[in-house]
């Protein structure tokens, strides 16, 4: 068992660090920066110290009173799942904090930056370590807030900070957004998912009376009660809605590409490695709970097939857009959405397979390997953007000589993303493909597998496209202009490249360790955890045929995608624009992908524009046009009233009758009456009330 304090401190320390940041800033800016990094380091050391307990399969559960009258406790649950996740989050966070020291050096507003970064880490660890839904929701919204505030970090909204290409319009909707707009978009879109989440968990609470994960797992009458009124699947899917929003899955995926308006370190931490994985984590946390319950009420297929389909469709949808993006960060953002789709697919397939644990551990394995290589790619992209002063890949080019370390690290990470063996991404993606094949009981599992393989092909293509456009070919005009002005492109400082070099190295280490022991160890640890906590049967044996089929398919897909990418962007045998010119079909497909399948435009029209217009119309027609008139009627009536009580002044009555259009005059009259006659009026009104009451009494009694 671990010391009781440790899991608490893992999330409290970064929050404390955040709260202390303004204080440290008063002493010295260097002290502020180093303490901020220090708090995140202290937190991850504690998280690391819990690892032996995880491998021993221990469950550390500690609780405190929170809302006694509802029997709600605050608590931490450090089991193999949360300890594993806390370490992925913690280590990547810490490295990105170090990277920030270099990347954000020239910026102002750093007190806010460090506050939000540490506050984010604390809330993320709170999600990971919470033992109940309510407390998890605190972290859930906390990270959402940090994401909002950090996307909008450059709150002055100058044009250079915008995401997207200014002036570009799709379906009448502008496609470029200011940082604060993008932040707001992220917060509101994820909020829609969170509302679904909240509806689901409040209904769950009505039926179970608890938010506590362990109680929900042990007393499962809530599931049959929910199923008896037909709400089991709806509730589970509503809760999944939160994961869809947070992890930017279809149909709530449109916020993440625009979240790239934030600083790149933020994109790496929040919008690639950690927060967007919170949705996956949520499914991993409560998925087994619902799986075990779903078996009892026989509702597995509708629930887990939905998860799998949303995952695989999102993976495909986002990959197609990554193929045509011009901004380096946007390629990575679409790729993140796509890769999270894989993780969701793995979790969905887990529920559809006989052995829950293989899809489950595949998904978590891919989560960690993606966190590592995607954080490395983002940090590398940040270094590129710093060095070349542009976010567009076609304004880079030929950088492999001048930025050797960045090139090496990004190449390794991109190879991992493409799924080239032996890098970690190959094994983890392969495990997910295998788990799809294991869902053989589900009739459409073949379609899931096929779409996943096609996505793997696209993934390899856009990874090579990125590497090719940035590092190969000739230097772009932009770079030549820069050189003429005396800015020579050079390697990032050590404080920036060391973090992503470490992550690139980790990709290799995990890649080598995976087939030897790591993947299996993870599967066994998680499988035993599922068996002990949720009574989900765990089979040690691994089916070899599906693993072989998926390995062969993924290598074929990889060769096709990577080959094409290599041919066009690295070997540069043909100009991409020439290909497009040859075929109108390809051009329109390209347009379609580039315009985000028009989903973004549709959402703006359907929700933002319509709501705003509706509120304005309602205001002018109903509020001003009808309800506000009551006032005038009221005022008219009281004017006559006051006049009557003031000895009947014919002149005023005349003017009243004639003066329907002369509101202004009338009100000044009212006012004059009132200033002299308020007490009279008041007494009169009281009198009327009392008389009405007496009449009422007489009638009633």
Residue 144 beta carbon to another protein: minimum distance, rounded to whole angstroms: 8
Q: Which H or E run includes 74?
A: strand 72-78
Of the ranges 56-64, 193-201, 336-344, 568-576, which one interacts with another protein (CB under 8 A)? 193-201
Alpha-carbon distance values, 369 to 355, 365, 514, 549, 562 (Å): 22, 6, 11, 22, 20
How many other CB atoms sit within 10 Å of the CB of residue 217?
A: 16
Closer Cβ to another protein, 244 or 547, answer by number = 244
Helix 328-352 to helix 300-324 angle, to the nearest 10 degrees?
160
Question: Distance (Å, rounded) from C-alpha 33 to C-alpha 13?
Answer: 16
Q: The tokens of 395 are what?
A: 């304004």
Of the ranges 87-95, 201-209, 421-429, 439-447, which one interacts with another protein (CB under 8 A)? 201-209
Question: Distance (Å, rounded) from C-alpha 7 to C-alpha 76?
Answer: 6
The β-bridge partners of 77 are: 61
Count Cβ atoms within 10 A of the Cβ of residue 694 and give its class: 0-12 exposed, 13-18 middle, 19 or more buried: exposed
Closer Cβ to another protein, 194 or 395, answer by number = 194
* 688 binds another protein per the rule CB under 8 A: yes
Q: The tokens of 365 are what?
A: 């394995």
HSE-CB at 525 with a 13 A cutoff on CA atoms is 24
Selected binder of another protein within 539, 583, 631, 676 (CB under 8 A): 631
Residue 295 beta carbon to another protein: minimum distance, rounded to whole angstroms: 24
Selected binder of another protein within 16, 192, 217, 564 (CB under 8 A): 192
Selected binder of another protein within 545, 584, 661, 675 (CB under 8 A): 675
Of the ranges 52-60, 582-590, 597-605, 613-621, which one interacts with another protein (CB under 8 A)? 613-621
Question: Distance (Å, rounded) from C-alpha 46 to C-alpha 7?
Answer: 8
Residue 156 beta carbon to another protein: minimum distance, rounded to whole angstroms: 6
Nearest to 283 by CA among 227, 366, 224, 203: 366
Selected binder of another protein within 9, 18, 88, 198 (CB under 8 A): 198
* 685 binds another protein per the rule CB under 8 A: yes
Selected binder of another protein within 169, 441, 575, 634 (CB under 8 A): 634
Q: Which residues contact 598 (CB under 8 A, 6 or more apart)?
A: 170, 171, 592
Closer Cβ to another protein, 91 or 133, answer by number = 133
* 207 binds another protein per the rule CB under 8 A: yes
Question: Distance (Å, rounded) from C-alpha 585 to C-alpha 473?
Answer: 28
Are the CB atoms for 197 and 241 separated by under 8 Å?
yes
Q: What is the four-CA torsion angle of 242, 245, 246, 247, rounded to 10 degrees? A: 110
Q: Report, in this order, helix, strand and coil percent for the chain, each rounded to 5.
A: 80, 5, 15
Q: The tokens of 627 are what?
A: 């309800």
Closer Cβ to another protein, 578 or 701, answer by number = 701
Of the ranges 174-182, 522-530, 557-565, 569-577, which one interacts with another protein (CB under 8 A)? 174-182
Distance, CA of 697 to chain centre: 63
Of the ranges 194-202, 502-510, 525-533, 648-656, which one interacts with another protein (CB under 8 A)? 194-202
Nearest to 451 by CA among 344, 563, 591, 565: 344
Of the ranges 77-85, 274-282, 443-451, 683-691, which one interacts with another protein (CB under 8 A)? 683-691
* 701 binds another protein per the rule CB under 8 A: yes
x-or-dash string of contact with another protein, 209-248, rule CB under 8 A: --------------------x-------------------
* 682 binds another protein per the rule CB under 8 A: yes
Selected binder of another protein within 26, 155, 488, 591 (CB under 8 A): 155
Sign of the C-alpha dihedral, residues 621, 625, 628, 633? negative
DSSP-derived pairing of the beta strands 72-78 and 173-174: unpaired
Nearest to 536 by CA among 366, 364, 363, 353: 353
Q: The tokens of 35 are what?
A: 């303490």
* 656 binds another protein per the rule CB under 8 A: no
DSSP at 220: -
* 14 binds another protein per the rule CB under 8 A: no
* 195 binds another protein per the rule CB under 8 A: yes
* 12 binds another protein per the rule CB under 8 A: no
Question: Distance (Å, rounded) from C-alpha 411 to C-alpha 377?
Answer: 9
Closer Cβ to another protein, 192 or 560, answer by number = 192
Of 84-143, binders to another protein (CB under 8 A) are 134, 137-138, 141-142
Of the ranges 204-212, 248-256, 397-405, 644-652, which one interacts with another protein (CB under 8 A)? 204-212
Selected binder of another protein within 444, 579, 618, 644 (CB under 8 A): 618
* 178 binds another protein per the rule CB under 8 A: yes
Number of H helices, E strands in the chain: 30, 4
* 684 binds another protein per the rule CB under 8 A: no
Of the ranges 34-42, 189-197, 268-276, 507-515, which one interacts with another protein (CB under 8 A)? 189-197
Question: Distance (Å, rounded) from C-alpha 699 to C-alpha 701?
Answer: 6
Count Cβ atoms within 10 A of the Cβ of residue 357 and give its class: 0-12 exposed, 13-18 middle, 19 or more buried: buried
Residue tagged 């075990």 (tokens): 292
* 605 binds another protein per the rule CB under 8 A: no
Alpha-carbon distance values, 605 to 172, 184, 599, 602, 610 (Å): 9, 17, 10, 5, 6
* 202 binds another protein per the rule CB under 8 A: yes
* 169 binds another protein per the rule CB under 8 A: no
Selected binder of another protein within 12, 45, 49, 157 (CB under 8 A): 157
Closer Cβ to another protein, 225 or 306, answer by number = 225
* 552 binds another protein per the rule CB under 8 A: no
Selected binder of another protein within 619, 649, 662, 665 (CB under 8 A): 619
Question: Distance (Å, rounded) from C-alpha 600 to C-alpha 593?
Answer: 11
* 68 binds another protein per the rule CB under 8 A: yes
Size of the site for another protein (CB under 8 A): 68
* 609 binds another protein per the rule CB under 8 A: no
* Burial annotation 318-328 (CB, 10 A radius, 16+ → b, else e): bbbbbbbbebb
* 370 binds another protein per the rule CB under 8 A: no
* 621 binds another protein per the rule CB under 8 A: no
Of the ranges 252-260, 546-554, 580-588, 622-630, which one interacts with another protein (CB under 8 A)? 622-630
* 31 binds another protein per the rule CB under 8 A: no
x-or-dash string of contact with another protein, 324-363, rule CB under 8 A: ----------------------------------------
Selected binder of another protein within 64, 158, 490, 657 (CB under 8 A): 158
> Which stretches of the chain bind another protein, using CB under 8 A?
65-70, 134, 137-138, 141-142, 144-145, 148, 152, 155-158, 178, 180-181, 184, 187-188, 191-192, 195, 198-199, 202-203, 205-207, 229, 611-612, 614-616, 618-619, 623, 627-628, 630-631, 634-635, 638, 667, 670-671, 674-675, 678, 682, 685-686, 688-689, 692-693, 696-697, 700-701
């Amino acid at each position: 068992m671990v010391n009781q304090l440790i899991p608490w401190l893992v999330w409290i320390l970064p929050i404390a660090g955040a709260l202390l940041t303004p204080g440290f800033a008063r002493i010295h800016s260097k002290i502020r920066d180093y303490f901020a990094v220090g708090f995140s380091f202290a937190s991850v050391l504690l998280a690391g110290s819990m690892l032996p307990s995880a491998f021993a399969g221990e469950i550390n559960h500690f609780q405190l009173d929170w809302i006694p009258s509802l029997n709600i406790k605050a608590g931490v649950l450090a089991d193999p799942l949360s300890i594993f996740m806390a370490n992925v989050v913690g280590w990547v966070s810490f490295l990105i904090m170090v990277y920030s020291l270099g990347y954000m050096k020239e910026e102002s507003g750093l007190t806010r930056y460090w506050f939000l970064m540490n506050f984010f880490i604390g809330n993320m660890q709170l999600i990971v370590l919470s033992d109940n839904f309510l407390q998890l929701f605190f972290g859930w919204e906390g990270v959402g807030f940090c994401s909002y505030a950090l996307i909008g970090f450059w709150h002055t909204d100058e044009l250079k900070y915008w995401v997207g290409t200014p002036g570009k319009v799709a379906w009448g909707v502008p496609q470029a957004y200011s940082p604060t707009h993008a932040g707001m978009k992220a917060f509101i879109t994820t909020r829609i998912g969170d509302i679904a989440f909240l509806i689901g968990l409040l209904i769950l609470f009505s039926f179970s009376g608890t938010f506590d994960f362990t109680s929900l797992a042990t007393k499962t009458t809530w599931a049959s009660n929910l199923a008896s009124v037909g709400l089991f699947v709806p509730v589970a899917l509503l809760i999944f809605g939160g994961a869809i929003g947070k992890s930017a899955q279809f149909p709530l995926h449109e916020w993440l590409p625009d979240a790239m308006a934030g600083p790149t370190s933020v994109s790496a931490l929040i919008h690639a490695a950690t927060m967007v994985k919170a949705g996956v984590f949520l499914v991993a946390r409560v998925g087994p709970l619902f799986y075990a319950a779903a078996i009892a009420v026989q509702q597995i297929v509708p629930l887990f097939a939905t998860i799998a389909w949303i995952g695989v469709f999102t993976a495909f949808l986002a990959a197609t857009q990554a193929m045509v993006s011009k901004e380096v960060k946007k390629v990575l953002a679409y790729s993140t959405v796509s890769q999270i789709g894989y993780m969701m697919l793995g979790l969905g397939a887990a529920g559809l397979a006989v052995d829950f644990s293989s899809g489950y551990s595949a998904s978590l394995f891919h989560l960690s390997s993606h966190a590592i290589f995607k954080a490395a790619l983002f940090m590398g992209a940040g270094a590129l953007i710093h060095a070349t002063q542009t976010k567009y890949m076609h304004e880079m080019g030929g950088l492999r000589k001048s930025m050797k370390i960045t090139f090496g690290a990004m190449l390794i990470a991109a190879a991992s993303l493409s799924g080239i063996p032996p890098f970690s991404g190959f094994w983890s993606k392969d495990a997910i493909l295998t788990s799809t094949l294991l869902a053989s009981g589900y009739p459409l599992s073949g379609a899931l597998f096929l779409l996943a393989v096609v996505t793997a092909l696209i993934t390899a293509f856009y990874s090579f496209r990125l590497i090719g456009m940035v590092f190969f070919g000739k230097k772009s005009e932009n770079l030549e202009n820069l050189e003429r002005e005396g800015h020579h492109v050079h390697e990032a400082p050590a404080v920036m490249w060391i973090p992503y070099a470490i992550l690139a190295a980790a990709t290799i280490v995990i890649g080598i360790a995976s087939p030897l022991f790591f993947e299996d160890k993870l599967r066994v640890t998680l499988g035993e955890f599922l068996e002990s906590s949720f009574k989900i049967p765990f089979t040690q044996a691994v089916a070899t045929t599906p693993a072989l089929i998926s390995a062969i398919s993924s290598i074929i897909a990889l060769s096709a995608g990577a080959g094409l990418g290599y041919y066009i962007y690295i070997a540069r045998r043909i100009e991409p624009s020439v290909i497009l010119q040859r075929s109108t079909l390809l051009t329109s497909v390209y347009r379609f992908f580039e315009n985000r399948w028009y989903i973004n435009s549709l959402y703006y029209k359907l929700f933002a524009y319509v709501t705003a217009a509706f509120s304005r119309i309602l205001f002018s027609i109903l509020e001003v046009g009808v309800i506000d008139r009551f006032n005038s009627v009221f005022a008219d009536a009281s004017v006559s009233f006051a006049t009557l009580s003031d000895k009947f002044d014919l002149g005023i009555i005349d003017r009243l009758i004639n003066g329907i259009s002369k509101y202004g005059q009338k009100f000044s009259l009212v006012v004059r009456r009132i200033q002299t006659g308020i007490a009279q009026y008041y007494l009169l009104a009281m009198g009327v009330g009392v008389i009405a009451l007496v009449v009422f009494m007489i009638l009633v009694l």
